[in-house]
Structure 1
Amino acid sequence: MHRLAGYFVALSILLGSSHTPALAQDKSLTVFAAASMKNALDDIGAAYAAKSGVRIVASYAASSALAKQIEQGAPADIFASADTDWMDYAAGKKTISEPSRVNLLGNSLVLIAPKDSKLDKVAIGPGFDLSKLAGDGRIATGDVKAVPSGKYAKAALEKLGAWQAAEPKFAMAESVRAALALVARGEAPLGIVYATDAKVEPGVRIVGSFPADSHPAIIYPVAATATAKPEAAAYLTFLRSSAAKTIFEKYGFVFLFSPTT
């Protein structure tokens, strides 16, 4: 009887210890990232989880919405913004770790139409008439007051002299991916999004590219939040690696950082 009891004690210890490594490895990081980064960051998250055992839980939305959510206490470890303004906002609210901040990626702005549109290539330059191109339809982009893609679009159109006539025709979306979807579904004949968005959506085609000097440089900064788990530092290092660079460039992003590994 004593021998049997000893067996069960030994078995319970063995079973208990077998669960310990699984519990120890059940680590995760929460990444709040600009909607335009979804495809690339999903791939990077899978690669990082395979390498480190740390699961990446990503939440994608407009940078403006994410910055406000982090300010209100949302549990995020990493913030990746599609412009420097919203990262500056987070820094001002002391919700990010300033020393961890890096300008990681660049992008470009394009004019898109549904894939079956009869619109030819558009030469985008000073004096081009976007309002006329849209006809009776709408022009989809992110909210020009807050969403980075919309802010870049408005800045470009103002510089090119096309904003005033086109403004009444704009359909303001909550994120660049929402604007992309409006065009892909044929609900808007034109849209202004990032080149990387157009690249991953088969329902649209690029009909024109905005000159780089028509708007502020499109820069994606990333940083750990002020409340980030210690594991966030290693993930940020991975974002700056050659492996991450390859993935970002596959999706059309410009890698601004010299790879660390």
Structure 2
Amino acid sequence: MPKLSGENQKTKVKELSKMVSIKSNSKTIFFIGSSRVMRSINTDLLKDSLDEWESINVGVSGSSLAQNLYLANFLKNKPGFKVLFIELSRYKKNRPNSTVAQTLGLINYPDSYYEFIHDCTSVTRILNNWESYALEYLNNIQSNIKQFLSRERILKFQMIGFAPVFNSGYWKTDSFITEIDIVNFSNGQIDTEVIGRIRELLVAQVKGNYRVIFLLPVTTMEKSELKFTVPIFQNIPINNKWYYDSPFIQAISHPKYLEDKNHLNYHGSVIYTQGLLKYIKANKKKWQ
């Protein structure tokens, strides 16, 4: 098992401390997704404006919708009242990072994950485990090299949580989602397995002490991702998704807010989080 770098360890401890402090009377907002969630959602800004809520960024580099839904099913059982914001992305059944499993205290991992995705093939599990351990090891080496070569502490490669990056490295706007994209991809084919898993989670919230809100990423490496995500998003009930309005899309869609083609930088995270905060304040009374 690869060891965590210094910054990764700090992040792990920070997120773990938030998790263990959740009580039966707590109100917690979880943001679950990939590195796009890591870069986009500034929980420090949310904390300043939502005193009664604890905001926890559970962005995990490389996470797909399969892992997001698995984590959501785990986090919904935490004490207190929860709101689960879930990034809607491609559905890839690769195994979640074991460091994340340790940080969040996932039960009976990785078997519980394979059960969740209905994959009981032992050979597949072994291959996926070896592949994931190898990727984690390489990621750790990459992180250490980057930190060694830079005079600053590099947060870019941390495993979980809000990870701000201040540079701008992509000066085009073609990766931003547009209102035209949503219209053009709305009537595409819907993955029946995925929409079924989403509906299971939504139905369970009626009896559970939680609410679910789905998010479309504001950036994408390839527009083909929208062929998968937008039709599903459009079939999710309006009260269970944040639908970006025109002013928000116009405000966020500037290259100065991009770290690279697929991620917001710190300045972009401020704009995104301000829009998110506006949505939360407008809807939080409906959640309880």
Fold shared per TM-score above 0.5: no
Bigger Rg, structure 1 or 2: 1
TM-score normalised by the chain length of structure 1? 0.31
